[in-house]
Amino acid sequence: MPAISPSEWRRKAVHAGMGLLALTLRWLDWKAAAAVALAALLFNLFLLPRIGRGIYRDPGRKRDTGIVAYAAMVLVLILLFRGRYLPIAAAVWAMMAFGDPAAAIAGRLVGGPRLPWNQEKTWIGLFSDWALGGAAAVLVFRFVAARRLEPDAVAMLIGAAGLFAFLESVRSGIDDNLIAALPVAFLLAWVSAAAPAAFPPAPGGRPGPWLALALNAALAVGAWRARAVSVSGAFAGALVGAWILAAGGWGAYAVLWCFFLAGTLASRAGYREKQRRGTAQPARARRGAKHVVANCLLASLIAWLSPYQARWGIVFAACLAAALADTLGTEIGSLRGDRAFSPAGAGRLAVGTPGAVSWPGLGAALLGAALIAAAGAVAGVVYPTDWWIVVAAGFSGSLAESIAHDFARRFSFRLDHEFANGFNTFVGALVAVEIAASLARGSLYLPVEGG
């Protein structure tokens, strides 16, 4: 295991030291805090390259992307989560400041088994990120909020730190300072917000965890024998299915199965023709663990939050609507779409190019979102009158993924496929929350409060 260089030690010390400034959010209002964060960003952009290249990973570069992204994300957190949400910004800042250095140092000094989804990172690094980031988040949140924390709040912060550590460990093609903070902050804000509208509880009740696990283990074996999933996909699918069934109930579970069956059928339809075109999924479209995590992680988290948040059903359905819209858009578009183009207006693209869309593909994406919306309404996860919100959110998430791929192509960096799939479910969830909350309030909803 290579040693950590003196410059890297200095870099990690500065990274963590800047996190101590999160404590000042107890006294600063959001405007003053934003001004300080903006000053730090400008310093990192223009002055640090002249006086502080000693903490750069590559001193030959004009600017260090990670250092600039760190300051930029702190500024974004303060601007978006202000007022009574400022302690959330502080907590996530603490995760960034202390969790990330802990992961890097422990991973380099201790080593150990590598993560199956990212061979550049280790399990000890992941758990170190979670442990130190979670502890720092709880302490900083408690200090900035200046009030005693209930056990539920501590559990939410620790759980959010686990999600943060996982997102930082994912291979995305983008600096991890830009990946993990916003989803975690939005999740915490969404849970802590007073629900603007009531949505139906989990229909049909929730079975016990052992029954849910046994049922899903049996179904996973069946899916594996039917060659619909790989061994890793069967294992991951059993865990996700059991989690969603136990947390979200039979209605949420039915929506999950609608997603899986429709996606599997779409991937297998016209497989030989897709092979000829070079657009077929590998391994005869058998889903693996990475596909399960990318498409279902956020939906699983939403199901877990169902006892705490009245809006969970519509957001849960929106996550899977975005995932299915993307799957059907890709599979049908690559099979029936002969004229692909850039969603951002950059002209014609080859069929199968990441981010390329076609009119048959867009139609299939809309159909996929509508299918999940219908399943959610029938299963009682969302009110029938709200089906269109799920459709709009799902289609928006799918289109956002295409635009993200287009952006990556224009700026010459590679966007990881599984990360992009997870990104579209996140956009779908955000759009669903925004539409539902705005309608309930009669005005544009933002998770902020001026102060």
**pLDDT tens-digit readout, 209-259:** 888 899 999 999 998 888 888 898 899 899 999 999 998 889 999 999 999
Contact 212, 242 (CB under 8 A): yes
Tell me, what's the pLDDT at 276? 73
Total structural domains within the chain = 2
Percent of the chain with pLDDT over 70: 91
Instruction: Yes or no: say if 188 and 92 are a contact pair by the CB < 8 Å rule.
Output: yes
214 and 281 together in one domain: yes
- Residue 451, domain member (yes or no): no
Is residue 332's pLDDT more than 60? yes
Which pLDDT score is estimated for 353?
A: 77
Q: What one-character-per-residue DSSP string does 317-333 give?
A: HHHHHHHHHHHHHHHHH
Cβ neighbours of residue 254 closer than 8 Å, sequence gap 6 or more: 375, 378, 379
Q: Does some domain include residue 202?
A: no
**Torsion (CA) 414, 417, 421, 424 in degrees, nearest 10:** 20
115: left (phi over 0), alpha (psi -120 to 50) or beta: beta
**Mean pLDDT over residues 181-188, rounded?**
90
Full-model pTM? 0.80
Question: Which of residues 192, 225, 247 is at a domain's end?
Answer: 192
Nearest to residue 236, comparing CAs of 246, 224, 225, 227?
224
For residue 336, what are the contacts with CB-CB under 8 A and spacing of at least 6?
A: 358, 360, 361
40 and 137 assigned to the same domain: yes
Residues 6+ apart with CB under 8 A from 440: 196, 197
In a domain, 258, yes or no: yes
Q: Is residue 227 included in any domain, yes or no?
A: yes
Tell me the per-residue pLDDT of 203-220, one tens digit each, with 9 for 90 and over. 556 788 888 899 999 999
Q: Which residue has the tokens 């998770």?
A: 447
Domain final position from 162, 192, 222: 192
349 pLDDT exceeds 70?
yes
Same-domain check for residues 145 and 233: no
Q: What is the pLDDT of residues 384-407, one digit of tens each?
A: 899 999 999 999 999 998 888 887
Q: Report pLDDT for 196.
A: 41
pLDDT at 283 over 70: no
Residue 280 pLDDT level (bands cut at 50, 70, 90): low
Give me the amino acid identity at 107.
G
- Residue at 201 is within a domain: no
Nearest one of 95, 109, 238 to 160, comparing CA atoms: 95
DSSP 69-109: HHHHHHHHHHHHS-GGGHHHHHHHHHIIIIIHHHHHHHHHH
Q: Which domain holds residue 55?
A: 6-192
Q: How far apart are CA 340 and CA 352, in angstroms?
A: 8
Residue 448 pLDDT greater than 70, yes or no: no
The stretch 355-377 carries a mean pLDDT of 92
**Is the residue at 54 inside a domain?**
yes
Question: Are 270 and 417 found together in one domain?
Answer: yes
Same domain, residue pair 221 and 147: no
Check residues 428 and 356 and name the one with the higher pLDDT.
428
Lowest pLDDT segment from 76-90, 118-132, 337-351: 337-351
Rounded to whole angstroms, how far apart are CA atoms 237 and 289? 7
Answer whether residue 449 is part of any domain: no
- Residue 129's pLDDT is what? 94
The verdict on 285 and 186 lying in the same domain is: no
Would you call 298 exposed, middle or buried from its count of C-beta atoms within 10 A (0-12, 13-18, 19+)?
Answer: buried
Q: Are residues 288 and 417 located together in one domain of the fold? A: yes
pLDDT tens digits, one per residue of 14-62: 889 999 999 999 999 989 999 999 999 999 899 888 887 778 877 777 8
Q: Are residues 78 and 173 in the same domain?
A: yes
pLDDT tens digit sequence for 101-138: 999 899 888 888 988 878 888 999 999 999 999 999 99
